[in-house]
Amino acid sequence: MYFKIIIGTIVGAALGLLYYKLVGCQSGSCPITAKPHRTAIYGAILGFMISSSF
């Protein structure tokens, strides 16, 4: 069970970084997507929530 949650969190963080690289924020004024560590943390939180719900 914990393995699935850890994998979900890591995949979420990786997808957050991928979103930063592909979409990102051109002006730098976006609160979540302006910096890569914020998008990784946001993605990790979403990955954790999704993986722990199953």
Contacts of 6 by beta carbon, 8 Å cutoff, 6+ apart: none
3-state SS class at 5: helix
User: Taking the CA of residue 3 as centre, how many other CA atoms within 13 Å lie in the half-sphere pointing to its CB?
Assistant: 0
- Tell the residue number behind the tokens 């302006």, with chain if given: 34
pLDDT digits (tens, 9 = 90+) for 23-51: 888 887 888 888 899 999 999 999 999 99
Q: Is 54 exposed, middle or buried (0-12, 13-18, 19+ CB in 10 A)?
A: exposed
CB-based contact 44:20 (threshold 8 Å): no
The pTM for the full model equals 0.86
Q: What's the confidence (pLDDT) of residue 54?
A: 82
Per domain, the residue ranges of the chain are: 2-52
